[in-house]
């Protein structure tokens, strides 16, 4: 009976194929995991292809989870997903915090320079020059060790290469796949010298889950043996002699590099205005969805901020001292620390004491609790600007202090704070961009994604800026209507 | 009633049927009321009593404690010591701390006392009608329909029925003060307190307000009025109280007060008005 049940469960488990939640930062660029430049809704990249096959080999359904680069490892520790794949180098530092699969790709660093530059083809030759790279990479460590190099560490490879093209940098040293995808197709740039050093990418997962680790490794081994890993790398034009010997795969099968060709074709600078406009039109669905997210997070956060802010203001103005002290402390702490830290704290910090919020809720809570502190100070000022005679009149009419506050003081205080609240809401719309660090794709995230794909910070910037303005506009109007309605009775009833 | 030794500093004394004082007892009775602000003595032993239906005028130089006395009568200000009895609600103070339970007592007492302020203090975010309805609806849980009907009747009485749906800021000062009186009356108080109700008004607007107060007097309302309107005090009062430096200097019928006051300080004060 018991074993029959166990068998049934096992059977069900297989039939339903538990999801394999894999995370990556789709903003971190080609050729890893990124959005197809020709179709922003489509996730692509050689790691995306690899994960589809790997999950199938493991008998699980792949489910992609977007997360910001800096949040990838913390999210793993939080249990937001099972594995992370994003060109993460297997280094002792990384090994200290996560477990790694066997490497799925081995490569080296490559130097890129402007066409017409000669001689900068080794690390030693870079001494005395300005060199760009990504922060926290093998490349950065190599350049630091060489000494005498003016180092610029970037968050994003597109910025490094565009600074190289603009002449702000003399050279950029990065992983060979990145150099291939960003420097090679660019007519202004070329690769210099040969491969430097060596590095391996591994799939990262939480430490201590031996079952998952061996399942991933078994899947990779199976992909090596049946040639599917090679075919993916060939598709992306990343199959190298080094990989052939590492995987011990000397097959002569020819797979055309379709994915690479597609990348080159779709990122070629478009000269014609028409092509540009067509491309912008293609952005609109993504921008629309991102705008909705921005609006939803901001509106929910504002509702929370108003309610909680009012409670804090009442505690500060009318509460007895322990309550008043607590409210003051809260307001000072919240106003005295950066919003970004509060967001990260709520999303990544609270789970260690058992409070797990999904990204949307965490964003709303973080923004709401933060803005509540500012709203509270507005409301307190508003309450103070209501003449004390109003309170006395209400008490003399036999209202309790609570009734007087609710029916007489608060409504009149609100008239003073409506204009300020509108301003606050508009800055909340803008501050909501910070929730992109906890995996929410809102407008700013969309801007980063689109502009880094196309090197087009100008056109995309205007589009996204326009979206923010459009979002804010209705609230400016709404505030004006509210002010007009309230001003009918706004002059306090003072003796003439 | 006296302060017996060993009695708690504040004590509520409610007769059976707190609404009506025992027959023969005055509606308002104050004995030896004292109040200081930061060591400055503002009320220095005030005693007075007011019979049902009386209209008492309180006059005196600026800063002598008139407003403080009125505010003590409905406990917007807490006296330091002394005894008060208003419409059957008693309070005895002997310098003790004002506690939360005392706040309940103040609340009960205020049901009997209406107050009208120099600066009207109408609620700016509500129409005149809503101003009058608000306290019955909120503090007494009267139904809105009933409250609106009663409020309309009161506005009619003070001649403001036409203004019911206006906002206070759009009314003249005289109209605002009459609305404030209607608002206080809506809670059906037994005693009305006025703190310089006409000081902020031009003479003809003041007359509208004083007219309403005369009418209430005719209907038997008990009223205490702090005022600088000597003609009104003389014509309408049952008695006039002259205060100076936190004390009642003398309390006389109006004719006597304004013709042959006995105290030199009263004569000095009234000389400025005649
Ligand atoms: N809340 C307070 N805190 C400190 N001092 C006060 C307070 N209220 C009143 N006083 C002081 O008490 C004294 C009497 O004030 P009160 O308002 O009772 O005088 P008044 O007789 O009403 O004068 P006026 O005719 O000018 O209205 C004044 O010296 C005033 O400064
Ligand atoms: Mg006064």
Q: Between these two residues, A65 and B9, which has the higher pLDDT value? A: A65
Cβ within 8 Å, pair B124-A489: yes
Q: Is the pLDDT of residue B16 over 70?
A: no
Query: How far is Cα B225 from Cα B234, in angstroms, rounded to an integer?
Result: 12
Query: Across residues A390-412, what is the average pLDDT?
Result: 95
* A311–chain B Cβ distance below 8 A for any pair: no
For B200, the closest of A411, A486, A496 (CB atoms) is A496
pLDDT tens, position by position, A120-157: 999 999 999 999 999 888 899 999 999 899 999 988 88
- Asked if residues A175 and A107 have their Cβ atoms less than 8 Å apart, the reply is yes
pLDDT tens, position by position, B205-249: 999 999 999 999 999 999 999 999 999 999 999 999 999 999 999
Query: How far is Cα B136 from Cα A399, in angstroms, rounded to an integer?
Result: 9
The pTM of the whole model exceeds 0.95: no
Q: Between these two residues, B78 and A12, which has the higher pLDDT value? A: B78
Q: Is the pLDDT of residue A492 over 60?
A: no
3-state DSSP: chain B helix, strand, coil percent, rounded to 5? 35, 25, 40
Which atom from ligand 1 is nearest to the alpha carbon of B66?
A: 21
pLDDT tens, position by position, A85-131: 999 999 998 999 999 999 999 999 999 999 988 889 999 999 999 99
Query: How far is Cα A324 from Cα B22, in angstroms, rounded to an integer?
Result: 45
Query: How far is Cα B10 from Cα B84, in angstroms, rounded to an integer?
Result: 11
The DSSP result for A162-198, as a single string, is: HHHHHTS-SEEEEEHHHHHHHTTT-TTEEEEEEEEEE
Taking contacts as CB-CB distances below 8 angstroms, the residues of chain A near B76 are: 392, 395-396
Nearest Cα of chain B lies from the Cα of A492 at a distance, in angstroms, of 6
Conformational region of residue A109, where left means phi above 0, alpha means psi within -120 to 50, and beta covers everything else: beta
Fold equal for A105-200 and A273-493: no
- Asked if residues B133 and B119 have their Cβ atoms less than 8 Å apart, the reply is no
| Distance from the alpha carbon of residue A495 to the mean position of ligand 2, in angstroms | 15
**Residue having the nearest C-alpha atom to atom 18 of ligand 1:** B65
Q: Is the pLDDT of residue B46 over 90?
A: yes
Query: How far is Cα B43 from Cα B9, in angstroms, rounded to an integer?
Result: 19
For B107, the closest of A400, A408, A412 (CB atoms) is A400
Query: Across residues A359-371, what is the average pLDDT?
Result: 94
Confidence class for position B29, pLDDT limits 50, 70, 90: very high
Cβ within 8 Å, pair A493-B176: yes
For A396, the closest of B74, B126, B199 (CB atoms) is B74
**Residue from B37, B70, B119, B199 to probe ligand 1 pocket by mutation (most atoms less than 8 Å from CB):** B37
B68 lines ligand 1 (CB under 6 A): yes
**Range name among B13-17, B31-35, B266-270 with the lowest pLDDT average:** B13-17
| SS3 (DSSP) at A474 | helix
| Distance from the alpha carbon of residue B224 to the mean position of ligand 1, in angstroms | 18
For an interface test with B, the pick among A398, A402, A403, A494 (most B C-beta atoms closer than 10 Å) comes out as A398
- Classify residue A481 by burial, with Cβ atoms within 10 Å: 0-12, 13-18, 19+: exposed
Taking contacts as CB-CB distances below 8 angstroms, the residues of chain B near A394 are: 123, 135
Question: What homologous superfamily does CATH list for A273-493?
Answer: MetI-like (1.10.3720.10)
Report residue A377 as tokens.
């100070």
Query: Across residues B24-33, what is the average pLDDT?
Result: 90
Confidence class for position B78, pLDDT limits 50, 70, 90: very high
For A493, the closest of B74, B169, B184 (CB atoms) is B169
Instruction: Give the residues across from B244 on adjacent strands.
Output: B247
B35 lines ligand 1 (CB under 6 A): no
Q: Is the pLDDT of residue A16 over 60?
A: no
B64 lines ligand 1 (CB under 6 A): yes
* A409–chain B Cβ distance below 8 A for any pair: no
**Range name among A39-43, A489-493, B48-52 with the lowest pLDDT average:** A489-493
pLDDT tens, position by position, A323-338: 999 999 999 999 999 9
Chain B residue with the nearest C-alpha to that of A408? B123
Chain B residue with the nearest C-alpha to that of A413? B125
| Distance from the alpha carbon of residue B56 to the mean position of ligand 2, in angstroms | 16
Which atom from ligand 1 is nearest to the alpha carbon of B70?
A: 18
* A402–chain B Cβ distance below 8 A for any pair: no
Cβ within 8 Å, pair B200-A396: no
Cβ within 8 Å, pair A408-B122: no
Closest by CA to B91, choosing from B177, B165, B31, is B31
Query: Across residues B175-189, what is the average pLDDT?
Result: 96
User: What's residue B219's pLDDT?
Assistant: 95
Mean pLDDT of chain B: 89
For an interface test with A, the pick among B125, B187, B206 (most A C-beta atoms closer than 10 Å) comes out as B125
User: What's residue A268's pLDDT?
Assistant: 78
Sheet containing B13-14: give its strands across. Answer: B13-14, B89-94, B81-86, B28-37, B40-50
Q: Is the pLDDT of residue A1 over 50?
A: no
**Residue having the nearest C-alpha atom to atom 29 of ligand 1:** B63
Report residue A143 as tokens.
């350049």
**Residue having the nearest C-alpha atom to atom 24 of ligand 1:** B62
Question: What homologous superfamily does CATH list for A20-103+202-267?
Answer: Periplasmic binding protein-like II (3.40.190.10)
B62 lines ligand 1 (CB under 6 A): yes
The domains of chain A are located at 20-103+202-267, 105-200, 273-493
For A398, the closest of B139, B168, B180 (CB atoms) is B139
Q: Is the pLDDT of residue B6 over 60?
A: no
Query: Across residues A157-183, what is the average pLDDT?
Result: 92
Taking contacts as CB-CB distances below 8 angstroms, the residues of chain B near A399 are: 135, 138-139
pLDDT tens, position by position, A458-478: 888 999 999 999 998 888 887
User: What's residue B2's pLDDT?
Assistant: 38
B65 lines ligand 1 (CB under 6 A): yes
* A128–chain B Cβ distance below 8 A for any pair: no
Mean pLDDT of chain A: 88
B39 lines ligand 1 (CB under 6 A): no
Conformational region of residue B246, where left means phi above 0, alpha means psi within -120 to 50, and beta covers everything else: left
Which CATH code is given to the segment(s) A105-200?
3.40.190.10
B67 lines ligand 1 (CB under 6 A): yes
| Distance from the alpha carbon of residue B8 to the mean position of ligand 1, in angstroms | 29
pLDDT tens, position by position, A265-306: 888 776 677 877 887 888 888 899 999 999 999 999 999 999
To which H or E segment does residue A389 belong? helix A388-396
Confidence class for position A28, pLDDT limits 50, 70, 90: confident
B63 lines ligand 1 (CB under 6 A): yes
Separation in Å, CA B80 to CA B26, B39, B43, B84: 23, 11, 9, 12
User: What's residue A266's pLDDT?
Assistant: 83
For an interface test with B, the pick among A397, A401, A414, A416 (most B C-beta atoms closer than 10 Å) comes out as A397
B266 lines ligand 1 (CB under 6 A): no
For A399, the closest of B135, B176, B201 (CB atoms) is B135
In B51-172 the beta strands, taken as DSSP E runs, fall at 55-59, 81-86, 89-94, 113-116
Q: Between these two residues, B143 and A162, which has the higher pLDDT value? A: B143
B42 lines ligand 1 (CB under 6 A): yes
Closest by CA to A335, choosing from A364, A303, A385, A376, is A376
User: What's residue B274's pLDDT?
Assistant: 63
Cβ within 8 Å, pair A396-B118: no
User: What's residue A459's pLDDT?
Assistant: 86
Query: How far is Cα B137 from Cα B260, in angstroms, rounded to an integer?
Result: 49
- Asked if residues A125 and A119 have their Cβ atoms less than 8 Å apart, the reply is yes
pLDDT tens, position by position, B112-145: 999 999 999 999 999 999 999 999 999 999 999 9
Chain A residue with the nearest C-alpha to that of B177? A495
Highest mean pLDDT range out of A37-46, B92-101, B152-161? B152-161
Nearest Cα of chain B lies from the Cα of A406 at a distance, in angstroms, of 10
User: What's residue A488's pLDDT?
Assistant: 61
């Amino acid at each position: 009976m018991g074993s029959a049940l166990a068998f049934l469960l096992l059977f069900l488990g297989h039939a339903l194929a538990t999801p394999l939640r894999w995370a990556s930062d789709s903003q971190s660029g080609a050729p890893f995991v990124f959005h197809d430049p020709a179709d922003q809704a489509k996730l692509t990249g050689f790691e995306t292809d690899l994960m589809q096959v790997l999950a199938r080999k493991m008998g699980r359904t792949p489910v992609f989870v977007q997360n910001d680069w800096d949040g990838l490892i913390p999210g793993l520790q939080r249990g937001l997903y099972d594995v992370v794949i994003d060109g993460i180098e297997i280094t002792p530092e990384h090994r200290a915090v996560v477990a790694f699969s066997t490497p799925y790709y081995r490569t080296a660093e490559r130097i890129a320079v402007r066409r017409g530059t000669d001689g900068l083809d080794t690390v030693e030759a870079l001494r005395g020059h300005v060199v760009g790279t990504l922060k926290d990479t093998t490349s950065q460590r190599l350049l630091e060790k060489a000494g005498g190099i003016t180092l610029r560490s970037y968050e994003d490879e597109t910025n490094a290469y565009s600074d190289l093209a603009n002449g702000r940098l003399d050279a950029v040293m990065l992983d060979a796949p990145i150099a291939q995808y960003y420097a090679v197709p660019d007519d202004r740039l070329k690769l210099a010298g040969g491969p430097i050093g060596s590095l391996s990418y591994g799939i990262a997962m939480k430490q201590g889950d031996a079952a998952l680790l061996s399942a991933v490794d078994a899947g990779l081994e199976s992909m090596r043996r049946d040639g599917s890993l090679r075919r993916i790398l060939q598709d992306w034009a990343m199959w190298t002699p080094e990989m052939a010997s590492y995987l011990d795969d000397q097959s002569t099968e020819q797979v055309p590099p379709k994915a690479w060709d597609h990348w080159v074709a779709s990122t070629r600078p478009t000269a014609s205005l028409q092509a540009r406009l067509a491309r912008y039109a293609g952005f609109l669905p993504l921008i629309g969805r991102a705008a909705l997210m921005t609006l939803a997070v901001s509106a929910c956060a504002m509702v929370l901020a108003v309610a909680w802010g009012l409670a804090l203001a009442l505690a500060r103005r009318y509460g007895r001292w322990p309550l008043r002290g607590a409210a003051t402390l809260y307001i000072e702490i919240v106003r005295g620390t950066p919003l970004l830290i509060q967001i990260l704290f709520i999303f990544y910090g609270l789970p260690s004491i058992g409070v797990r919020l999904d990204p949307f809720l965490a964003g709303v809570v973080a923004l709401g609790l933060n803005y509540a502190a500012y709203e509270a100070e507005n409301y307190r000022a508003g309450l103070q600007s209501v003449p004390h005679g109003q309170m006395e009149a209400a008490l003399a009419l036999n209202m309790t202090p609570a009734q007087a506050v609710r029916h007489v003081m608060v409504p009149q205080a609100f008239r003073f704070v409506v204009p300020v609240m509108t301003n606050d809401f508009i800055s909340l719309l803008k501050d909501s961009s910070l929730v992109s660090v906890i995996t929410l794709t809102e407008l700013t995230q969309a801007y980063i994604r689109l502009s880094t794909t196309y090197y087009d910070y100008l056109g995309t910037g205007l589009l996204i800026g326009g979206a923010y303005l459009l979002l804010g506009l209705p609230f400016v109007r709404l505030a004006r209507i509210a002010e007009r309605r309230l001003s009918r009775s706004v002059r306090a009833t003072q003796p003439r | 009633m006296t302060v017996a030794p060993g009695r708690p500093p504040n004590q509520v004394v409610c007769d059976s049927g707190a609404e009506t004082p025992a027959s023969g007892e005055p509606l308002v009775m104050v004995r030896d009321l004292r109040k200081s602000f930061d060591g400055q003595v503002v009320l220095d032993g005030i005693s007075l009593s007011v019979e049902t239906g009386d209209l008492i005028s309180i006059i005196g130089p600026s800063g002598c404690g008139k407003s403080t006395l009125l505010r003590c009568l409905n406990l917007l200000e807490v006296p330091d010591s002394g005894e008060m009895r208003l419409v059957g609600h008693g309070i005895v103070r002997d310098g003790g701390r004002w506690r939360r339970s005392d706040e309940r007592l103040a609340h009960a007492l205020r049901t009997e006392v209406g107050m009208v302020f120099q600066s009207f203090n109408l609620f700016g975010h509500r129409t005149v009608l809503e101003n009058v309805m608000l306290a019955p609806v909120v503090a007494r849980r009267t139904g809105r329909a009933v409250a609106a009907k009663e409020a309309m009747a009161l506005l009619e009485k003070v001649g403001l029925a036409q203004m019911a749906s206006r906002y206070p800021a759009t009314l003249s000062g005289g109209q605002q003060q009459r609305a404030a009186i209607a608002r206080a009356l809506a809670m059906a108080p037994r005693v009305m307190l006025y703190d310089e109700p006409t000081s902020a008004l031009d003479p003809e607007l003041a007359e509208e307000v004083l007219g309403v107060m005369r009418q209430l007097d005719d209907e038997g309302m008990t009223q205490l009025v702090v005022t600088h309107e000597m003609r009104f005090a003389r014509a309408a009062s049952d008695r006039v109280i002259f205060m100076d430096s936190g004390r009642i200097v003398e309390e006389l019928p109006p004719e006597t007060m304004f013709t042959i006051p006995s105290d030199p300080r009263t004569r000095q004060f009234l000389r400025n008005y005649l």
